[in-house]
Amino acid sequence: MAKRDYYAILGVPKSASDDELKKAYRRLAMKHHPDRNPDDESAHEKFKEAKEAYEILKDPRKRSAYNQFGHDGVDPTARGPGGPGGFQGDVGDIFGDIFGDIFGGGRRAGRQRQRGADLRFSLDLGLEDAVRGSTREIKVPTLGKCKTCDGSGAKDGKRETCGTCGGVGQVRMQQGIFSVQQTCPACHGAGQRIGDPCPTCRGQGRIRETRTLSVKIPAGVDSGDRIRLAGEGEAGMAGAAAGDLYVEVRVRPHRIFERDGDELYCEVPISFTLAAMGGELEIPTLNGQVKLKIPQETQTGRMFRLRGKGVKSVRSHRTGDLMCRVVVETPVKLTREQRDLLKQFEQSYTNDSTIHNPRAHSWLQGVREFFDRMTS
Which of the listed residues 39, 73, 88 is the one where a domain comes to its end? 88
- Specify whether 243 is located in the same domain as 309: no
pLDDT of residue 345: 84
Inter-residue contact 117 to 242 (CB < 8 Å): no
Average pLDDT of the segment spanning 193-198: 83
Distance CA 287, CA 309 (A): 8
- Specify whether 247 is located in the same domain as 169: yes
User: In this structure, is residue 140 part of a structural domain?
Assistant: yes
Q: Is the pLDDT of residue 10 over 70?
A: yes
Query: What CATH number should be reported for the domain holding residue 171?
Result: 2.10.230.10
Average pLDDT of the segment spanning 282-310: 92
For the chain, state the CA radius of gyration: 41
Q: How confident is the model at residue 176 (pLDDT cuts 50, 70, 90)?
A: low
- Which range of residues forms the domain containing residue 365? 336-375
- Specify whether 263 is located in the same domain as 341: no
pLDDT of residue 305: 95
How confident is the model over 111-155, as pLDDT tens digits?
A: 456 788 999 999 999 999 999 999 999 999 999 988 888 888 888
- Specify whether 61 is located in the same domain as 29: yes
Q: Is the pLDDT of residue 86 over 60?
A: no
Query: What CATH number should be reported for the domain holding residue 294?
Result: 2.60.260.20
DSSP three-state, residue 100:
coil
Give the strands of the sheet with 245-251, arranged side by side: 119-125, 245-251, 226-229
- Specify whether 344 is located in the same domain as 303: no
CA atoms within 13 A on the CB side of 329: 9
pLDDT of residue 113: 61
Q: What is the mean pLDDT of the chain?
A: 82
Q: How confident is the model at residue 159 (pLDDT cuts 50, 70, 90)?
A: confident
Average pLDDT of the segment spanning 188-197: 79
